[in-house]
């Protein structure tokens, strides 16, 4: 019996100290805002349209295939002004998204969401089209390797390779780079925050700015809103709410066995890394979604480390509502804010260059 108790205590210690890592509850010390006001009628229509996705039948590979097909059709029927140019160079896959008249020396690396399981450049064309317009830039939308066919490390490698490639390549081949943004949503927001920290540590040219829509920042799943916002999140609640009933240590061990990367490692949990010396980052999130505290905690820690990271939150919005443009007024408001953020970043850059 004594040996059994010792083994249990050892497993618990390894789970919390090695797999999970630091207790981040200290980042929850301030009052959390709660949703107020009313969403637009258009948002209610969006929520209603999501019922098809959240009620998909089937299981395993069949359900995943259905989800991928559903997501790839999300931009169908939209009037997109951009040109879409496929890229397939060795292991690098994706597409250029080029709005009329943009400057290709200004570039955006976009990393799509989809829980690392689904999504593609096609599924997120409504976002990449708008970002090309707002940023006056050529957007490279990356088609990175997904679970479960590949491990997390391979998708991360694809993001790092794309970052290096974009530093020297535009839509027409090798070209100077004047302005670089890395952006992504949800799982892609996680990869966005991971890659900007990696670029800093690798002594590469840093991005001029980064944008993260509703990012997952902690795969240890310790954020309070992962449970408190299940009922108010019409997308992630039905899809992932049941996971919250599984003891966290079991999820940490499953994650480690599957990917051979501890949840505590910054490469998969950007919140748990060094957040100093980052470029300007804009984080947009809904106060009603399960990932609200993932975003809020990341911003609080980054600001405490001296990085210029800004949080913008909306009440009631569905997860990654920015994809529902132009029909959703709140999405258009979000892009207006992105334009203002980028203008501010470039204004500061210009002042610093003048001072030097």
- Catalytic annotation, residues: 186, 289, 319
Q: Among residues 314, 328, 325, 322, which one has the least CA distance to residue 286?
A: 314
- What is the distance between the alpha carbons of residues 151 and 197, in angstroms, rounded to a whole number? 20
Radius of gyration of the chain (CA): 20
Contact 177, 105 (CB under 8 A): yes
Tell me 306's DSSP state: T
Peptide bond into 215 cis (omega under 30): no
**Residue that the structure tokens 């059709």 belong to:** 73
302: tokens are 């980054």
- What is the distance between the alpha carbons of residues 70 and 72, in angstroms, rounded to a whole number? 6
Q: What is the DSSP string of 45-111?
A: HHHHHTHHHHT----HHHHHHHHHHHHHTTTTT----SEEEEEEETTEEEEEEE-TT-EEEEEEEEE
- What is the distance between the alpha carbons of residues 255 and 309, in angstroms, rounded to a whole number? 29
- What is the distance between the alpha carbons of residues 297 and 190, in angstroms, rounded to a whole number? 13
Sign of CA dihedral 258, 28, 314, 51: positive
Inter-CA distances, 266 with 218, 220, 250, 274, Å: 9, 11, 20, 8
């Amino acid at each position: 019996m004594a040996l059994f108790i010792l083994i249990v205590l050892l497993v618990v210690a390894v789970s919390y100290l090695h797999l999970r890592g630091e207790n981040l509850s200290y980042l929850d010390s301030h009052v959390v805002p709660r949703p107020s006001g009313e969403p637009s009628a258009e948002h209610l229509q969006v929520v209603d349209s999501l019922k098809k996705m959240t009620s998909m039948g089937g299981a395993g590979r069949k359900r995943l295939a259905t989800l991928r097909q559903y997501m790839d059709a999300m931009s169908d029927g939209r009037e997109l002004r951009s040109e879409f140019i496929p890229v397939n160079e060795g292991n690098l896959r994706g597409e250029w998204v080029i709005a009329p008249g943009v400057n290709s020396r200004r570039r955006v690396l976009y990393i799509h969401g989809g829980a690392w399981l689904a999504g593609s450049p096609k599924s997120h064309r409504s976002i990449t089209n708008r970002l090309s317009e707002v940023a006056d830039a050529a957007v490279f939308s990356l088609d990175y390797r997904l679970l479960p066919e590949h491990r997390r490390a391979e998708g991360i490698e694809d993001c790092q390779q794309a970052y290096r490639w974009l530093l020297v390549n535009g839509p027409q081949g090798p070209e100077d780079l004047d302005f670089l943004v890395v952006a992504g949503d949800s799982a892609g927001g996680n990869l966005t925050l991971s890659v900007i920290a990696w670029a800093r540590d690798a002594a590469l040219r840093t991005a001029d700015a980064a944008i993260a829509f509703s990012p997952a920042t902690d795969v240890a799943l310790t954020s309070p809103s992962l449970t408190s916002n299940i009922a108010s999140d019409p997308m992630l609640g039905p899809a992932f709410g049941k996971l919250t009933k599984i003891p966290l240590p079991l999820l940490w061990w499953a994650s480690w066995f599957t990917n051979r990367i501890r949840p505590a490692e910054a490469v998969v949990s950007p919140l748990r890394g060094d957040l100093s010396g980052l470029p300007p980052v804009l984080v947009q999130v809904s106060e009603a979604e399960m990932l609200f505290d993932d975003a809020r905690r990341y911003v609080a820690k980054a600001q405490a480390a001296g990085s210029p990271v800004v949080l913008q939150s909306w009440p009631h919005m569905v997860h990654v509502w920015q994809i529902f443009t132009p029909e959703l007024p709140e999405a258009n408001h979000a892009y207006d804010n992105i334009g203002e953020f980028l203008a501010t970043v470039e204004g500061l850059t210009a002042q610093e260059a003048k001072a030097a």
